[in-house]
Every structure is written in structure tokens, then in C-alpha cells.
């Protein structure tokens, strides 16, 4: 009992810390857009909960993205071509799959490659 009390009260101890799930790497992506379904890929880099990388989709090329992983909740912001704003994606991680909604009301899904 004393060990548990010391462990819990020690702010620098890592045994109770939870680590963010790993999402870094390549993912196959399908996005519902106003122009129909688009196929592409995420190339994600991860530092803790912070995500950076790119989304490559047909007809648009490679677009920079940033995002955040909060537990299993994913939020991504994709830079649109020619500085025309950003496009948001929200969803959740389930093992080697992610899925969710686009800010335009469509759906997206991704699978680890």
C-alpha cells in the first residue's frame, strides 16, 4: 500500500503515464467530396499527440496537413491548393484503421499500409 501511495504521489514517475497511440506512417485513404469519392494516402509524422505530414489525392496532388491525436480521437487540417484555405477531418482511430467525417459532411476512412 505504501508503494502505491509513493508511486501515485511522485509527479516524475512514468509508470502511470499513458502514451499516445502510434499513427505515424503511410495510410490508404478514401474521402467523400462534393466531386465524388477520392482515393489517396496520408503520410503522417507524429510527435506525441501532434501530427504533421501530407495528404496525396488524385486531381489535387500532395497537400500539407497538421493535426492532433487526443486518445483515439483524430483531427486533421489539410491546406488546400493555392492558399485557398483549409479542409478539416475529424474521426477516430481503431487499431490500423481510422474513419470519420469531413467538415463538409462527407465521410473518410483510412487503413494503415
- pLDDT by residue (tens digit) across 31-41? 998 778 999 99
The predicted model scores a pTM of 0.80
Q: Which domains does the chain have, with CATH numbers?
A: 22-112 (2.40.128.120)
3-state secondary structure the chain: CHHHHHHHHCCCCCCCCCCCCCCCEEEEEEEEECCEEEEEEEEEEEECCEEEEEEEECCCEEEEEEEEEECCEEEEEEECHHHCCEEEEEEEEECCEEEEEECCCCEEEEEEC
Please indicate whether residue 105 or residue 59 has the higher confidence score (pLDDT).
Answer: 105
Amino acid at each position: 500500500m505504501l508503494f502505491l501511495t509513493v508511486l501515485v504521489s511522485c509527479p516524475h514517475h512514468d509508470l502511470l503515464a499513458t502514451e499516445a497511440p502510434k499513427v505515424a506512417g503511410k495510410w490508404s485513404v478514401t474521402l467523400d467530396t462534393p466531386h465524388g469519392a477520392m482515393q489517396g494516402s496520408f503520410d503522417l509524422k507524429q510527435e506525441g499527440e501532434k501530427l504533421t505530414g501530407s495528404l496525396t489525392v488524385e486531381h489535387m496532388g500532395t497537400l500539407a496537413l497538421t493535426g492532433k491525436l487526443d486518445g483515439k480521437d483524430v483531427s486533421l487540417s489539410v491546406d488546400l491548393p493555392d492558399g485557398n484555405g483549409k479542409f478539416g477531418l475529424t474521426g477516430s482511430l481503431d487499431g490500423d484503421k481510422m474513419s470519420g467525417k469531413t467538415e463538409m459532411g462527407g465521410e473518410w476512412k483510412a487503413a494503415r499500409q
